[in-house]
Amino acid sequence: MQTNAPGRRRSRLLGWVYAVPTAVFVVALFVVPLLLVLKMAASRWPLLAGDQGLNAPDNLTRAVSHRFFTDSVVFTVKYTLLATVLLIALGLGLALLVQESSRWNNLLRASFLIPGALGLASASLLFYVLYSPYASPFAPLMRRLDLTFLGSPNAALLSTVFLVVWRYAGFYMVLMLVGLQSIPADVFEAARSDGASRWQIFRRVTLPLLRPTLALTTVLCVTGSLLAFEQFYLLTKGGPDNSTVTVVQLIYLIAFQGQNDLGVAAALSVLVLLALVLLNALQLRAFRPEEH
């Protein structure tokens, strides 16, 4: 035991050496900004004047009573539900489609993944042009059919959801595919030998064994949707008639446009963070494996 003690101490020291760079990044890029946001949320902090003393209750009250607060929350929840359902359903469907490795399935996988190579901001600018009644290559047809992709609240929402699904469906397909391939083939063979139909296998075997993957994809999708900013900022600018303002857009508007108040924006950011933590905890609990 004594001869192994120096080796164990060296292993522990080496482990700390490896962990220090990660810890430094976490502290510098997460802990310190989080503490700064909490301080800003509790202070009177105009954009160009800096900290002017504590003002916590007033910041929270002004954030919640903002004229766009309720509408932005409702719209963000609506967008999150729509995008989450479509992305997870389509990602799982595509994964089932290309589950078996073959020449054509490999081609399909690559085709579905290609949009993911494009950044969200670049994809938003691309679709902004495609949706434009003047610059789009389909502009004559759009004018002839009187099509407006961004001209009404529902059209703007659905057009943005289509962009997001096109951009991220391949990514969620890969996550679902990894989950499907982690299920032992013997389980499916046993179910088929017992006379189970495809629907019964999918419902009784595939979905229960995909719980960890479904938990991961749901958390990622809900978090990304609740924090949506680029696609709406570039496509709709919050229009028409401020009908597509998300919560993160509202934070941006309060901080850098109109009020120019970092304290109120930080208070709203803290509310969003608390909501995300609560929602993620509920999702992980909902997808927790059943205990027998």
Three-class HEC string of 88-125:
HHHHHHHHHHCCCCCHHHHHHHHHHHHHHHCCHHHHHH
Alpha carbons 189 and 16: distance in angstroms, whole number: 46
Contact assessment for residue 221 and residue 211, using Cβ atoms and an 8 Å cutoff:
no
Give residue 81's pLDDT band: very low, low, confident or very high (50, 70, 90): very high
Sequence-distant (6+) residues with CB within 8 A of 210 are 92, 176, 179, 180, 183
Q: What is the pLDDT of residue 291?
A: 60
User: Cα separations (Å) of 65 from 61, 73, 86?
Assistant: 6, 12, 32
Residues near 233 by beta carbon (within 8 Å), at least 6 away in sequence: 249, 252
Please give the pLDDT value at position 292.
Answer: 52
- Paired strand residues for 261: 46
Q: What is the pTM of this model?
A: 0.88
Distance linking the first and last C-alpha atoms of the chain: 42
Instruction: Give the model confidence (pLDDT) of 113-170 as tens digits.
Output: 899 888 999 999 999 999 988 888 888 888 888 888 888 999 999 999 999 999 999 9
Cα 249 to Cα 229: distance, rounded to the nearest angstrom:
6
Q: What domains can be seen in the chain, in order of their start residue? A: 69-244 (1.10.3720.10)
What confidence category does residue 227 fall into, taking pLDDT thresholds of 50, 70 and 90?
very high
Report angle CA 232, 282, 37 to the nearest 5 degrees.
55
Choice among 2-6, 137-141, 179-183 with the minimum mean pLDDT: 2-6
* Sign of the CA dihedral with 154 first, then 159, 163, and 165 last: positive
Confidence of residue 72 (pLDDT cuts 50, 70, 90): very high
Enter the tokens of residue 252. 């941006």
pLDDT at residue 2 is higher than 80: no
Cα 194 from chain centre: 40
Cα–Cα dist 287/89, whole Å:
16
Q: At which residue do the structure tokens 């719209």 appear?
A: 75
Mean pLDDT of the chain: 88
Q: What residues are paired with 54 via a beta bridge? A: 43
The pLDDT assigned to 1 comes to 44
What Cα–Cα distance (Å) separates residue 90 from each residue in 177, 194, 285?
A: 12, 29, 23
Banded model confidence at residue 69, pLDDT cuts 50, 70, 90: very high
Give the side-chain half-sphere CA count within 13 A for 252.
14
Task: Report which of residues 136 and 92 the model is more confident about.
Answer: 92
CA distance 79 to 236: 14
Cα–chain-centroid distance for residue 108?
A: 24
Which range (73-87, 96-110, 134-148, 223-237) has the least confidence? 96-110
Using CA atoms, how far apart are residues 226 and 279, in angstroms rounded to an integer? 10
pLDDT band at 226 (very low <50, low <70, confident <90, very high): very high
